[in-house]
Amino acid sequence: MIKLATWNVNSIRTRKNHVKEWIQNENIDVLMLQELKCKDEDFPLDFFQNLGYNCEFFGQKAYNGVAILSRLPMEIIHKGLPNFQDEKSRWIEVKIANIRVISSYFPNGNLVEDEKKFGYKKEYMAKVYEYIKPLLLKDEEIILGGDYNVAPNDFDVYSIKAMAHDAICQPQSKKDFQALLNLGLYNTLDVASPIRSGIFSWWSYQSGGFNKNQGALIDFLLCSPKLIDKLESSHVDTQPRSWQQPSDHAPVVATFMTNNLKECHTIGTSSTNGDQTNGDPTNSSQTNSDPTNGDPMNQKAQHSQQEAKKPTPPTAPKPPENNNQQGSLF
């Protein structure tokens, strides 16, 4: 079994102890992070290495920034969406045992009236579509986790009336998200909880949004057909959102069944220097440390959504098997 998650932490330096407690308590194998809000040299690399995690990150001062933490060896593929010229740090992509794991912080797009901002959101989504499409045609195993800044359905916001003018609810935003699903990607939450209400991953800091559950579901794990067949459960864990000085987002978790996880742990660790350029594999030293035991936080939340067990997923047409693929977790 392998447990993956995505989490917009809204400043990794501010929330590093939150991340530490949560990944240890929940036994997370791979974590995709967004909104680091720090330069590469300020990322708490040693902190997470001492917990036994390999780290790849793509930072930016004060804004954006993405990372992937993994107990398993990983190899960097891209820092930055390769088919999109962008000065912002929104995309990081690695290989973990032949699985393409991506963490992305999609543009917010507000205000909708601002064509530059909303146009940038539309262009980014279009470029993601163009990039992912040929990978799926090659039967690649993919997990694309992140803050999508899209609420795909009206029930994914607490009030469609109150949020009708927000970029996350615009018909174009929903259309662009659905286009990714039409390619053959599956939303793990859709498969685990096809009928849901009041399940959100973001709540405003203002006006007690979390306590009133006035939020939106905008964080997702999308995966390719081969991986969705192995999905055991997926849920939003709201507990960290109730801690002191929390991120305004909660992590989304997915658990997959695998028979090869033990073998992957014996391969060795990946590079974790965080300095590689777009497309170059890393070659630095091993960093497989024993986890440390930090003091747990005192704020234990009562707000936790139970994992929903997977019903039988819909059958999707799949491309022919690629017999040259080896080393998969699954």
Whether residue 15 has pLDDT greater than 80? yes
Instruction: Write down the pLDDT at residue 277.
Output: 41
Whether residue 242 has pLDDT greater than 90? yes
Q: How far is residue 114 from each of residues 64, 93, 97, 111, 118, measured CA to CA in Å?
A: 20, 30, 42, 5, 6
Domain count, the chain: 1
Residue that wins the pLDDT comparison between 194 and 35 = 35
Does residue 116 sit within a domain? yes
Are 167 and 109 within 8 A, CB to CB?
yes
Residue that wins the pLDDT comparison between 323 and 72 = 72
Going by pLDDT thresholds of 50, 70 and 90, the confidence category of residue 205 is: very high
Looking at residue 206, its amino acid is Q
**Residue 83 belongs to a domain with what CATH number?**
3.60.10.10
Does residue 196 sit within a domain? yes
CA distance linking residue 326 with residue 77, whole number of Å: 17
Are 99 and 227 within 8 A, CB to CB?
yes
Percent of the chain with pLDDT over 90: 73
CA distance linking residue 50 with residue 255, whole number of Å: 24
In the block, residue with structure tokens 């459960």:
233
pLDDT in tens, 31-88: 999 999 999 999 999 999 999 999 999 999 999 999 999 999 999 999 999 999 999 9
Q: For the ranges 148-152, 158-162, 258-262, 321-325, which has the lowest average pLDDT?
A: 321-325
Whether residue 290 has pLDDT greater than 50? no
DSSP 249: B
Whether residue 285 has pLDDT greater than 90? no
Whether residue 328 has pLDDT greater than 70? no
Give mean pLDDT, residues 236-257. Answer: 97
Q: Which domain holds residue 85?
A: 2-273+299-309
Specify the length of the chain in residues: 330
CA 279, distance to chain mean position in Å, is: 20
Q: For the ranges 93-102, 222-231, 240-249, 252-261, which has the lowest average pLDDT?
A: 252-261
Does residue 329 sit within a domain? no
Does residue 47 sit within a domain? yes
pLDDT, mean over the chain: 84
DSSP 42: G
Residue 77's nearest CA partner among 94, 63, 65, 60 is 94
Does residue 33 sit within a domain? yes
CA distance linking residue 171 with residue 147, whole number of Å: 18
Helix (H, G, I), strand (E, B) or coil at 147: strand
